[in-house]
Amino acid sequence: MDSFKAIVVKEKDEQIIYELEQITFDNLSEGDVLIQVAYSSINYKDMLAVQKNGGVIRNYPMIPGIDLSGTVVQSKNTQFEPGQQVIVTGFAMGMNHTGGFAEYARVPAEWIVPLPDQLDLKDAMIFGTAGYTAGLSIMALEQNGMNVKNNPSILVTGSTGGVGSIALQILSKIGYKNITALVRKEHQVEVAKSLGATEVIFASGLGGIQKPLNKQKYDYVLDTVGGEVASALIPQISYGGSMSMCGNAGGIHLTTTVLPFILRGINLLGIDSVNVPIENRENVWVKMSKEWNVSKDALTNAISLKDVPKTIDAIKNGQHLGRTIIKL
């Protein structure tokens, strides 16, 4: 194959544009493994990548796409061989290394996770970066005391988005019964309930920045949005509870006091899905292939590369639900 399809982001006349193009292997970044991409997915970070001053891509032209699943075509590394099915998420992919929105990708071997036996390539991207981040969040909360046996009160913010929707489904599947979903719009209520929420509340009901300490409502919070929402929830976390934080769609600033931390002993758990050491990644993917596997019931939409702009606009305008995967 002399050429293949890819979404390419460029800077032109001080504006950022992106479109579907025919490119060659010379347009791909360096790496010792060439992968024929089967699926990628569209994440909030991918939306930022195609915006002016989005803070994701700094060198143009660039192929976006922070994750992919596919089949090894060529490998200079003995750890991987042609025909092997693999997953790549995070690191510099789709930022300063050409990413998953293309029919082929070339990456360093140390970024690659072998596809677990009980997942197929489509399932892997139904999870994608969003599902992987949800898994990391749940794992961190459980390492800090969240346990099905204690029937804790759990709140999930951004509950119908990529991370939140998968988190709701995993929490419900593994036996948690007291799960509150935070939503912004009326049509999201039934969606959140269908994903496993036992109660739904509106973000508007949180008000602005609240008192240093409020009534203790939630043992654990899985936050995906940050900003004022996270700030309003910290004073409502119960004694000894924890909040995981993995997103900034609601803003990067956090307004709080030391009181919830020194009087209630709560914990803030930062979740980074980009630079997790490769040796720590496989255990999360194995869980998602087995006891956490909700891929068959996930809220998913499949599109082609030409449909990417429509989904990007939906994410930007807060109209996107669940997960959108790109079938290459």
Other Cβ atoms less than 10 A from the Cβ of 282: the count is: 13
Segment 117-170, tens digit of pLDDT? 999 999 999 999 999 999 999 999 999 999 999 999 999 999 999 999 999 999
Are residue 198 and residue 264 in the same domain, yes or no?
yes
Give me the phi and psi of 102, to 5 degrees please.
Answer: -155, 160
**CATH number for the domain harbouring residue 200:** 3.40.50.720
Instruction: Note whether residue 278 is domain-resident.
Output: no
The answer to whether the predicted template modeling score (pTM) of the entire model surpasses 0.85 is yes
User: What is the chain's length?
Assistant: 328
Q: How far apart are CA 184 and CA 201, in angstroms?
A: 8
Confidence (pLDDT) at 206:
84
Mean pLDDT of the chain: 95
Helix, strand, coil percentages (3-state) for the chain, rounded to 5, are: 30, 30, 40
Give the residue numbers spanning the domain of 316.
Answer: 4-115+298-327
| Across 52-63, average pLDDT | 92
Q: How far is CA 191 from CA 172, 197, 322, in A?
A: 14, 9, 9
Q: Which amino acid is at 314?
A: A
Both structure tokens of 73: 């075509």
Task: Say whether 114 sits in a helix, a strand or coil.
Answer: strand
Q: How many domains does the chain have?
A: 2
Segment 226-260, tens digit of pLDDT? 999 999 999 999 999 999 999 998 999 999 999 99
| Across 179-203, average pLDDT | 95
Confidence (pLDDT) at 1:
63
Q: How far apart are CA 215 and CA 228, in angstroms?
A: 18
Residue with tokens 């931390």: 261
**CATH number for the domain harbouring residue 313:** 3.90.180.10
Are residue 153 and residue 109 in the same domain, yes or no?
no
Q: How far apart are CA 89 and CA 160, in angstroms?
A: 21
Instruction: Note whether residue 21 is domain-resident.
Output: yes
Q: Which amino acid is at 87?
A: I
